[in-house]
């Protein structure tokens, strides 16, 4: 028997053994998280005792302190806070909107978009409805000047992947203020980004341009959007009165929360697992991203509980202000570049905490192939699907730094029914689904820590 043939044979024989060892370890990770209620206890405290935690708020500060305290209980090798300046937007008193048509008034369910300027009293104006950018562009500026632009393009219910339906409509929310203002509008309203037909408006971040006049922008519930659209057909000259009391305060000092288990063999190579600390201010931030927070912390607990001493450094990162500019993610990536750190992989959970399917990845073809090979170990837990195009906002600044960016991919059928609304509360979360997601994250982190890239 030749030497080369012997080496190949030994590798062939050894591969199933390594896979079996990995399978046993992953089974331990899942068994531990599935039989414990640590995450559920933590999530319940976060949502009921702290609640909504918009960046710059007292609640955001409390969340930083709470998260650091929880991570300390899991005995990391190091634990520290990374300073980051964040915007501080305050909604103020509850918004009001109503439409007046032929002497009859009717209320509308609205909320200000995050970062919007206020109305400085009550803004009353006629409304022009558009369902596409082309429709807005085709309007002469005189048809828009002094009016409120009503963006009424709905999420496409025919799209099986609900997140894709969201992505196809979110540009109205992010860019609507700029486009409407350029046409001379005095305000804008956006149909809420949800497939639900209800009375709950959904907020989210908007964008302004310094050279373009800032106008107030509100989100309408889907029922209110339908009612307004119907009323406009009957009376194109109807008016809407809008009152929003939101203000932008000076930036606040906040923090990313970071904990580490040092790698015993390749400590300079880092595998990160993260989520974002902040939330919008309408609900409790349970699904976005309370579930991600407790899952990321659970990965550290699982490693220390089971006694995994990682070959590469495991770093848990809880980012601040993903919702309104990803300042925490950008600050973290900037310091990684400055320190010239080596990042093998960056993993994030920000998909609602629902049933995990697997992961979305952004990496070279060779790395994707390697991760897909590992993912077979997650098939027994129905989390072995590896799709392209990761969706972690806080991971975007790590492009070109980490060799692989991965976001936990969850079933999104229910996400946008509660996303960024008052419905994002603890009772909408299934603890079992959150546990399964934590198991998948811990397993993937373990494989990266063991084998690297």
Asked if 144 and 187 touch (Cβ cutoff 8 Å), the reply is no
* Rounded CA separation 166/322 (Å): 18
Strand partners, 89: 248
Structure tokens at 423: 């419905």
Candidates 32, 298, 311, 322; catalytic one: 322
Q: What is the dihedral of CA 199, 202, 207, 208, to 10 degrees?
A: 30
What phi and psi values does residue 141 have, to the nearest 5 degrees?
Answer: -55, -30
* Rounded CA separation 349/326 (Å): 15
- Alpha-carbon 125 to chain mean position: 34
Residue with tokens 């634990």: 79
Ramachandran category for residue 315: left, alpha or beta (phi over 0 → left; psi -120 to 50 → alpha): beta
Measured CA to CA in angstroms, residue 150 lies from 130, 157, 176, 181, 290 at distances of: 6, 20, 9, 12, 32
Name all contacts of 207-215 with Cβ < 8 Å and 24+ positions apart.
207/115, 207/174, 207/175, 207/177, 207/178, 208/115, 208/177, 208/178, 209/178, 212/178, 212/181, 212/182, 213/181, 214/117, 214/177, 214/181, 215/117, 215/177, 215/180, 215/181, 215/185, 215/186, 215/187, 215/188
* Rounded CA separation 163/350 (Å): 12
Known catalytic residue at 322: yes
The DSSP bridge pattern shows strands 122-130 and 356-363 to be unpaired
Reply yes or no: is the peptide bond before residue 195 cis, omega within 30 of 0: no
Contacts of 33 (CB under 8 A, 6+ apart): 39, 298, 302, 435, 438, 439, 442
Measured CA to CA in angstroms, residue 34 lies from 242, 290, 356 at distances of: 48, 18, 14
* Rounded CA separation 290/59 (Å): 13
* Rounded CA separation 423/45 (Å): 17
Taken as a whole, the chain contains a residue count of: 453
Burial class (CB in 10 A: 0-12, 13-18, 19+), 6: exposed
Catalytic residue list: 322
């Amino acid at each position: 028997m030749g030497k080369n043939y012997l080496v190949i044979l030994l590798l062939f024989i050894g591969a199933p053994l390594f896979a079996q060892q990995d399978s046993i370890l992953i089974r331990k990770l899942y068994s531990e998280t599935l039989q414990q209620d640590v995450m559920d206890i933590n999530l319940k405290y976060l949502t009921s005792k702290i609640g909504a935690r918009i960046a710059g708020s007292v609640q955001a500060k409390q969340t930083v302190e709470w998260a650091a305290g929880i991570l300390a209980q899991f005995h990391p090798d190091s634990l520290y806070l990374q300073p980051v300046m964040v915007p501080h937007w305050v909604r103020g008193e509850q918004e009001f909107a109503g439409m007046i048509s032929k002497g009859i008034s009717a209320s509308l369910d609205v909320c200000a978009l995050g970062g919007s300027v206020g109305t400085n009293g009550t803004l009353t104006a006629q409304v022009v409805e558009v369902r596409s950018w082309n429709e807005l562009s085709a309007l002469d500026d005189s048809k828009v000047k002094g009016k409120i632009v009503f963006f009424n393009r709905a999420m496409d219910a025919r799209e099986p992947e609900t997140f894709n339906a969201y992505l196809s409509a979110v540009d109205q929310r992010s860019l609507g203020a700029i486009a409407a203002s350029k046409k001379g509008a005095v305000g804008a309203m956006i149909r809420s980004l949800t497939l639900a037909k209800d009375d709950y408006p959904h907020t989210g971040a908007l964008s302004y341009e310094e050279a373009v006049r800032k106008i107030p922008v509100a989100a309408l519930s889907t029922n209110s959007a339908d009612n307004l659209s119907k009323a406009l057909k009957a009376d194109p000259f109807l008016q809407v009165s809008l009152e929003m009391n939101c203000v932008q305060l000076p930036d606040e000092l906040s923090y990313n929360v970071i904990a580490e288990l040092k790698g015993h063999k390749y400590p300079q190579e880092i595998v990160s697992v993260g989520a974002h600390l902040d939330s919008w201010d309408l609900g409790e931030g349970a699904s976005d991203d309370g579930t991600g927070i407790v899952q990321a912390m659970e990965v550290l607990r699982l490693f220390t509980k089971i006694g995994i001493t990682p070959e590469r450094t495991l770093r848990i990162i809880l980012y601040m202000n993903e919702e309104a500019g990803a300042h925490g993610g950008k600050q973290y990536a900037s310091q990684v570049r400055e320190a010239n750190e080596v990042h093998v992989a960056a993993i994030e959970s920000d998909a609602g905490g629902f049933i995990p399917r697997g992961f979305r990845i952004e990496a070279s073809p060779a790395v994707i192939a390697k991760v897909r090979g590992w993912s077979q170990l997650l098939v027994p837990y129905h989390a072995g699907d590896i799709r392209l195009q990761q969706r972690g906002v806080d991971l975007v600044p790590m492009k070109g730094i980490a060799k692989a960016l991965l976001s936990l991919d969850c079933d999104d059928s229910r996400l946008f029914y509660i996303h960024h609304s008052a419905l994002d509360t603890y009772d909408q979360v299934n603890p079992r689904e959150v546990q399964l997601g934590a198991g998948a994250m811990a397993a993937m982190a373990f494989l990266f820590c063991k084998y690297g890239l």
